[in-house]
Amino acid sequence: MTEIIVTTGLCKQYSKVLRVKDLNLSIPEGVVYGFLGPNGAGKSTTLKMILGLAKPTSGNISIFGRNIDDRNRIAILRNIGSLVESPGYYGHLTGEENLRIFQTLRELPVNEIDRVLHIVRLENQKKKKVSQYSLGMKQRLGLACALLGTPKLLILDEPTNGLDPAGIQEMRELIKSLPHQYGMTVVVSSHLLVEIDQIASHLGIISKGELVFQGELSSLHQKSQHHIALRTMNNSLAVKIFQENKVPFSVQDGYLILPALEDAQLARYTTFLSEKYVGLVRIEERKKSLEDIFLELTGMAVSL
Amino acid sequence: MKAFAVEFQKIRRRKIWLIIALLVFVQVVWSLWGVSDMDAHELQQGWRFSLYQFPLLNSIMMPIVAAVVASRLCDIEHKGQSLKSLRTILPAKKIFDAKFLCGAVFMLVATILQVLLICIIGFGKQFTEPIPVRLIGYYLIFTFAINSTILVFQQVLSLLFKNQMVSLSVGLIGTFTGLFSLFFPQGFQKFLIWGYYGVLMFVRMDWNPETRISNLYWTPVDWSGLIFLAVFFFAIYLVGRLLFIKKEF
């Protein structure tokens, strides 16, 4: 799989604080790539550097196989649609007039405006001034603007911000469909793991400016191991029995945690404990959630 | 060219033409009042009167018009945070150039309308001195040059500061300073871009307190003043554009 964006040793320093540290992103072509991290982790800063809105302190950015610099930046960005932080708009103009500005600057055919308005379902609101739009409608207009000309790469920073639950679902479905329908690569940043889990096939997790995980979402799922939790009336006796029988275990919050076991093996252990009158009161099968893994990786609490 | 055309699309419903219309209207009323009761002596100095009166009027009104035009052109970008989107399509220097050219069109139209007004008044009132065509041409060029220099200064402030009160306040303070500088020596006036309406004037007044008669007379054009102004213009343009290019989001 070829990479559409590659960053090497990307750093950004703001007033002596390194906000992005040695970031090595590798984003494959034709996927939805989730860029996940807690608030203030450096997601927007990274995306702004990719789009040339902030200058990297050090490091390289390569898009479509070309190292980006001041001379080729605009030519490369011609194939990129973006929506960073909040949608850019002119409130005194209508939705259609807003899109006409960007359609003219990008030298695209006029019918592109209706096409993208249809995709984001704003065609009935196109004659309305954008200052009268709700935040969700502005967000959709921003997405329509990013979709003008069907770019090869779409960079969306927290695109579901300000949308109602139905709008969030609609936006997620739309993002998911873009690689299949238009062959686009979509980079979506979010601080919501559940969102990325729903729409992305690949992801990068950033924490305090550093990339702590990058790969396919399925490989993150594989990290979530099953285990068995036992609760007894006499844990100290149970511990002694497990130690004597060399059963691997750990103690956590009053539970004895065993690795994932075959049913037959678990049945043997429970029978054994019952025979020793330990008083087994609970057997739970537990699975480490993606949230737990995320917290482990980022080392901090996050909105879920 | 594309970016320049788009600037006019962006300012639909912003009523910038209204500011220019208001300026011209006030100047029409002012000048009609000024020439309403001219005697033979004054008619003999009619063109000098107009070319003396209008630069004074300009030092009061044009800097404010330039500040408002620049602010109206630039605050639309801050309000909707559209510069982030624009700068992924256009290089920052092109955005800056297009905005300046758009504003300059308004200032040029204001200047041309003013010169037309001067001519209409002159022919309407039948000034008895011959029309100084060359000097009226200079007047148009100088006034436009000063307007453009103030405009680019205001544009830099309006683009760099989100709060438009900053640029408008500086514009207002500059206007008053420029106006007061007319009472100071020309050497001092040349350090203020707002003072150039006075520097590049080529009519002076000689008022005799005993006879209470004022005479207007031509003075040589201050070409060094024009060179200074050009230096100011290019310095503000280049430094301002560089600051805008370096601005991060």
Torsion of CA A268, A270, A272, A277, to 10 degrees: -170
Indicate if the pLDDT at residue B221 is higher than 60: yes
Residues A209-218 pLDDT 10s: 999 989 998 8
Asked if B79 has any chain A CB less than 8 Å from its own CB, the reply is yes
Query: What is residue A106's predicted lDDT score, i.e. its pLDDT?
Result: 92
To test the contact with chain A by mutation, choose from B77, B84, B246 the residue with the greatest count of A C-beta atoms within 10 A, namely B84
Nearest CA in chain B to A47: B249
Minimal C-alpha gap between B48 and chain A (Å): 45
Asked if A191 has any chain B CB less than 8 Å from its own CB, the reply is no
Tell if the CB–CB gap between A102 and B83 is shorter than 8 Å: no
Tell if the CB–CB gap between A53 and B88 is shorter than 8 Å: yes
Sequence-distant (6+) residues with CB within 8 A of B125 are: B35, B38, B43, B46
Asked if A128 has any chain B CB less than 8 Å from its own CB, the reply is no
Nearest-by-Cβ selection for A104 from B2, B88, B248: B2
Please give the average per-residue pLDDT across B163-189, as a whole number.
Answer: 91
Minimal C-alpha gap between A195 and chain B (Å): 25
- Residue B248's Cβ-side half-sphere holds a number of Cα atoms within 13 Å equal to 16
Nearest-by-Cβ selection for A53 from B76, B84, B91: B84
A303 pLDDT tier (thresholds 50, 70, 90): very low
Query: Contacts of residue B3 in chain A, CB cutoff 8 Å?
Result: 105
Nearest-by-Cβ selection for A52 from B5, B9, B88: B88
CB A107 within 8 A of CB B2: yes
CB A187 within 8 A of CB A35: yes
Higher pLDDT pick, A248 / B195: B195
Query: Contacts of residue A86 in chain B, CB cutoff 8 Å?
Result: 81
Query: What is residue B233's predicted lDDT score, i.e. its pLDDT?
Result: 98
Please give the average per-residue pLDDT across A231-256, as a whole number.
Answer: 85
Question: β-pairing, A202-207 with A250-252?
Answer: unpaired
Residue B37 in tokens:
């009761």
ipTM: 0.86
Indicate if the pLDDT at residue A143 is higher than 80: yes
Query: What is residue B133's predicted lDDT score, i.e. its pLDDT?
Result: 94
Sequence-distant (6+) residues with CB within 8 A of A225 are: A259, A260, A287, A288
A300 pLDDT tier (thresholds 50, 70, 90): low
Residues A55-95 pLDDT 10s: 999 999 999 999 998 889 999 999 999 998 888 899 999 99
Asked if B15 has any chain A CB less than 8 Å from its own CB, the reply is no
Query: What is residue A194's predicted lDDT score, i.e. its pLDDT?
Result: 84
3-state DSSP helix/strand/coil % of chain A, to nearest 5: 40, 30, 35
- Among residues of chain B, what percentage have pLDDT more than 90? 73
Query: What is residue A304's predicted lDDT score, i.e. its pLDDT?
Result: 39
Query: What is residue A280's predicted lDDT score, i.e. its pLDDT?
Result: 86
Query: What is residue B117's predicted lDDT score, i.e. its pLDDT?
Result: 93
Instruction: Say how far apart CA A223 and CA A200 lie, in whole Å.
Output: 17
Instruction: Say how far apart CA A112 and CA A182 lie, in whole Å.
Output: 14
Query: Contacts of residue B10 in chain A, CB cutoff 8 Å?
Result: 90, 93, 101
Residue B44 φ/ψ, nearest 5 degrees: -70, -20
Residue found by looking up tokens 């003075």 in the block: B219
To test the contact with chain B by mutation, choose from A70, A85, A93 the residue with the greatest count of B C-beta atoms within 10 A, namely A93
Compute the C-alpha angle A290/A154/A110, nearest 5°: 150
Nearest-by-Cβ selection for B80 from A80, A89, A100: A89
Instruction: Say how far apart CA B110 and CA A228 lie, in whole Å.
Output: 82
B182 pLDDT tier (thresholds 50, 70, 90): confident
Nearest-by-Cβ selection for A86 from B14, B81, B87: B81
Indicate if the pLDDT at residue B228 is higher than 50: yes
B172 pLDDT tier (thresholds 50, 70, 90): very high
Tell if the CB–CB gap between B85 and A145 is shorter than 8 Å: yes
Q: What one-character-per-residue DSSP string does B6-50 give?
A: HHHHHTTTS-HHHHHHHHHHHHHHHHHHHHTT--HHHHTTHHHHH
Indicate if the pLDDT at residue A222 is higher than 90: no
Indicate if the pLDDT at residue A301 is higher than 70: no
CB B3 within 8 A of CB B97: yes
Indicate if the pLDDT at residue B99 is higher than 90: yes
Please give the average per-residue pLDDT across B229-233, as a whole number.
Answer: 97
Residues B111-127 pLDDT 10s: 999 999 999 999 988 88
Query: What is residue A237's predicted lDDT score, i.e. its pLDDT?
Result: 87
Query: What is residue A297's predicted lDDT score, i.e. its pLDDT?
Result: 76
Neighbours of A40 (CB within 10 A): 12
Residue A70 φ/ψ, nearest 5 degrees: -60, -30
Query: What is residue A302's predicted lDDT score, i.e. its pLDDT?
Result: 43
